[in-house]
């Protein structure tokens, strides 16, 4: 998702750092300084959507935006109260069907025949606009003189495209016939048959041992639709079973799917067993699929089955609701989790769920909303909750496309908010906080750069005609 190229020269003073914020700098929390970026960001959306996002941000700031033919060049009205005149110039570039670049430049004009004084934050490193941009519109009596990448606007574009809550689609989302979906490979073709294969445990998660205990409950929040969360979950389950702990793996799968999961656990994991699970399931065959039904989640179920087949005491519990929304859904999820824990009170219970569900405190956007985690913590005060720290990567998720006014489920870029951003010095592993955080988290599971995991079954786009009811995670 990084692209190096000639346009980086337009940043001016590439790699420079300063304690003060400038037009072309971004804050680097690792150094505590404002630095000029050294790479381009490639967005995982069509160029048209990225340009519409840039336009939306400028128009929200009350700029008029004019678009040139082709849609990959735009310029704004002039910035108020700035002399000499300045305006924004936006360039888009189509890298692929769902890959794009957007560059935002702040262009300064100067009177014809004069050089003009430099404004604060401008340096002698700027680009000569006539040499760099032949399509910048003119202004009578003025000429474009200097250009600079405006990273503050580009940061807003990044936030709109990659810091967006994912949707969980829990109603109005019927299954499609199995013959109408495409089954993606499991990633294990040609290897040892599933019935005889050992679980892919890998190394233990650094720092997880203190949370593994008989009767303990650990909630791990977001982001679903990635490979890294199920992988870390398996490694913790393996470490717990290596300590001879019984384990219950609770997943955000509708509770109505429990009989199918039980049958799958009783099978050998071969093609017939997988076909029975998928053909009988409404969940894995939904028209619109979010990260809860990713290939990585089915892989996690299979690895848990292999652990059980090897003699370990492992069970999988479906705890989600089929159709409920809001507080009703949170209440049902909490009750399903408490029921699963009560059936195996000596087991260590690991819960994989969305970040909103996992919170043990109220949310700031709805004082009446009580997350599942808060309800579970009231019944089981010893429950512990982890959020996820990560680096920029990709995620399979469902989002509401405001331009097309419909739900779109696909691979998107995902960037961490500052509070969960994993620095280059932070190793992958689990870090406990000294005190519970405002959102109710007790620690953070660092996973590095995230990698999208699409659904194991995907309906062709022409049959995605459902009108699902979204619920934020």
Tens place of pLDDT per residue across the chain (473 aa): 444 443 444 444 444 444 445 566 777 777 777 778 878 899 999 999 999 999 999 999 999 999 988 889 999 999 999 888 999 999 999 999 999 999 999 998 888 766 544 555 544 445 455 455 666 777 877 877 778 889 999 999 999 999 988 999 887 677 777 665 555 554 444 444 555 688 999 999 999 999 999 999 999 997 999 999 999 999 999 999 999 999 999 999 999 999 999 999 999 999 899 999 999 999 998 888 999 999 999 999 999 999 999 999 999 999 999 889 999 999 999 999 999 999 999 999 999 999 899 999 887 777 789 999 999 999 999 999 999 999 999 999 999 888 878 889 999 999 999 899 999 999 999 999 998 888 889 999 999 999 999 998 876 653 333 445 455 56
Q: Environment class of residue 452 by beta-carbon count within 10 Å: exposed (0-12), middle (13-18) or buried (19+)?
A: buried
Cα–Cα distance measured from residue 321 to residue 353, given in angstroms and rounded to the nearest whole number: 12
Give the pair of three-digit tokens for residue 83.
Answer: 């002399």
Cα–Cα distance measured from residue 153 to residue 60, given in angstroms and rounded to the nearest whole number: 12
Looking at residue 169, what is its pLDDT?
Answer: 84
Cα–Cα distances (Å) from 69 to 52, 66, 88, 95, 135, in that order, read: 14, 10, 17, 18, 11
pTM of the model: 0.86
């Amino acid at each position: 998702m990084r692209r190096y190229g000639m346009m980086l020269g337009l940043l001016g003073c590439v790699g420079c750092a300063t304690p003060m914020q400038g037009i072309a700098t971004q804050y680097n929390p690792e150094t505590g300084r404002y630095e000029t970026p050294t790479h381009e960001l490639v967005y995982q959306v069509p160029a048209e959507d990225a340009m519409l996002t840039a336009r939306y941000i400028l128009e929200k700031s009350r700029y008029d935006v004019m678009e040139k033919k082709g849609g990959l060049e735009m310029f704004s009205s002039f910035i108020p109260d700035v002399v000499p005149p300045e305006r924004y110039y936006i360039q888009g570039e189509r890298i692929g069907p769902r890959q794009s670049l957007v560059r935002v430049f702040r262009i300064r004009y100067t009177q014809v025949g004069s050089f003009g004084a430099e404004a604060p934050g401008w340096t002698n490193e700027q680009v000569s606009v006539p040499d760099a941009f032949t399509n910048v519109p003119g202004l009578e009596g003025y000429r474009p003189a200097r250009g600079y990448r405006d990273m503050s606007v580009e940061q807003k574009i990044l936030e709109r495209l990659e810091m967006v809550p994912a949707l969980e689609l829990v109603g109005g989302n019927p299954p499609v016939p199995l013959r109408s979906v495409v089954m993606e490979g499991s990633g294990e073709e040609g290897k040892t048959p599933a019935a005889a294969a050992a679980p892919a445990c890998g190394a233990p998660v650094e720092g997880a041992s203190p949370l593994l205990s008989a009767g303990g409950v650990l909630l791990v929040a977001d982001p679903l639709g990635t490979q890294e969360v199920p992988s870390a979950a398996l490694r913790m389950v393996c470490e717990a079973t290596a300590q001879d702990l019984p384990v219950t793996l609770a997943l955000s799968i509708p509770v109505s799917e429990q009989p199918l999961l039980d049958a799958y656990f009783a099978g050998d994991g071969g093609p017939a067993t997988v076909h029975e699970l998928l053909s009988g399931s409404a969940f894995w065959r939904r028209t619109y699929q979010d990260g809860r039904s990713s290939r990585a989640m089915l892989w996690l179920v299979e690895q848990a089955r292999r652990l059980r087949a090897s003699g370990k005491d492992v069970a999988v519990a479906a705890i989600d609701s089929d159709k409920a929304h809001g507080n009703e859904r949170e209440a049902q999820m909490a009750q399903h989790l408490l029921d699963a824990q009560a059936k195996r009170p000596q087991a260590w219970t690991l819960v994989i769920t969305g970040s909103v569900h996992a919170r043990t405190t109220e949310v700031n956007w709805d004082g009446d909303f009580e997350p599942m985690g808060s309800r579970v913590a009231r019944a089981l005060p010893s429950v512990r909750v982890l959020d996820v720290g990560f680096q920029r990567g990709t995620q399979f998720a469902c989002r509401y496309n405001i331009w097309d006014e419909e739900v779109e489920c696909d691979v998107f870029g995902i960037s961490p908010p500052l509070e969960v951003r994993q620095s280059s010095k932070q190793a992958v592993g689990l870090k406990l906080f000294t005190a519970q955080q405002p959102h109710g988290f007790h620690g953070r599971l660092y996973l590095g750069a995230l990698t999208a995991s699409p659904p194991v079954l995907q309906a062709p786009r022409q049959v995605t005609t459902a009108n699902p009811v979204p619920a934020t995670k």
